[in-house]
Amino acid sequence: MCSLSDLTHSSSDGNSDDNDLPSDTSSWSLNLIDKFGIRKVLTDPFELVRYEWSLCNLTDDEVFRIDEIVKICSLPCIDFYSLEEIPFENSKLYKQWVQEWFPKTTVKELKLFSDNCEEFGYFLFDTIQQMHKPKEKENEEPFEIDYQVLFEKFLKLFELKIKVQPSLPTARATIFGQEISSKADFLCTKCDDPRKILSVCEVKRKCLAADSEFSPVKKKLRPSSSKLATVSEEECPNSSFVLGMPPNVYAQHVGKLLAYLESSVLKKGLMGIVVQKTNVIFTFLKVKPESLEKIRRQKPGSVKFDPSKNEEPLFFYTEQFNFLKCQDRKVIFKALLALRMMEVKGWDY
């Protein structure tokens, strides 16, 4: 995985016109994003939610309670690098499996946690079962893992409101004097107002390399590192990486955040989540109104920000955390619990 110092500025789509702005953000590339003058800041998921996104203040007692809930709800039996690594026995019934892996848990702040946990477990069980099911015919289509639904079930543990396609609205905005459009994979919205967005989410099952996760399951060597990048440079030898994701994914994600920015619950910016298989990256695009106005009205390459006024847009991002790994999941849980607790507590922004 490349560090920021290894950042490449080559276009991922071979676009020869540096000032060309595709109207759909799904066609955006890295060389275009470089023209926005965005400064990138690596941070921790909980720090990002509490101090940068910062919907409202959390007291030290509330943070202590979040840590307690994480310990209660961490699902310690699930500790794997990938779905392929999870053991499966054809003879084991779902009821037996879910009781073993998802014990009943009571948390006053998450009244539906056990029910939602069972729903997540059911989908996980079905996914693993399908992965291990051999094909009966030579021309039978292979089973493809639906990572998006899996992550939606995971988010539901925190009782977040989710809006998915086809009901998902297309976002439209003016960038560099042109109208652009974008459509996220799904949105986390405010509990009492579906028009207001908490987070723009997108799920990338794989990169463009010839790598797929189909049944029957093939055994893979366990990586030596405790961190597993679900889409790695080895899997995508022809793709450079930006902030832990392929450059086209990074560019298009920034485009989505800009497009949905006006619908954010916060005027100062919009949070995002990028999922690559079972790995999660939290992001937050912070843009001052005067800086956004420059991006909206000026031409590509002509946007100039005054360093003395701190006008540069900031893109906060985290490392990847695998929600199948117990220690990584605790980090994800803490960030999502903070998000949920802020939403429930009030909207004093």
- Print the SS3 string covering the chain: CCCHHHCCCCCCCCCCCCCCCCCEHHHCCHHHHHHHCCEEEECCHHHHHHHHHCCCCCCHHHHHHHHHHHHHHCCCCCCCCCHHHCCCCCCCCHHHHHHHHCCCCCECCECCHHHHHHHHHHHHHHHHHHHCCCCCCCCCCCCECCHHHHHHHHHHCCCCEEEECCCCCCEEEEECCEEEEECCCEEEEECCEEEEEEEEEEEECCCCCCCCCECCCCCCCCCCCCCCCCCCCCCCCCCCCECCECHHHHHHHHHHHHHHHHHECCCCEEEEEEEECCEEEEEEEECCHHHHHHHHHCCCCCCCCCHHHCCCCEEEECCCEECCCHHHHHHHHHHHHHHHHHHHHCCCC
Please tell me the total count of domains within the chain.
Answer: 1
Q: Which pLDDT tens digit goes with each residue over 145-155?
A: 999 999 999 99
Structural domain includes residue 154: no
Give the structural domain span for 176.
Answer: 20-72+161-209+225-345
Q: Which pLDDT tens digit goes with each residue over 254-298?
A: 999 999 999 999 999 999 999 999 999 999 999 999 999 988 987
Tell me what pLDDT residue 292 has: 92
Structural domain includes residue 321: yes
Q: What is the mean pLDDT of residues 105-129?
A: 92
Structural domain includes residue 29: yes
Of 325 and 3, the one with more pLDDT:
325
Structural domain includes residue 47: yes
Structural domain includes residue 140: no
pLDDT tier for residue 105 given thresholds of 50, 70 and 90: confident
State the pTM of this model.
0.85
Structural domain includes residue 155: no
Tell me what pLDDT residue 268 has: 95
Structural domain includes residue 284: yes
Structural domain includes residue 239: yes
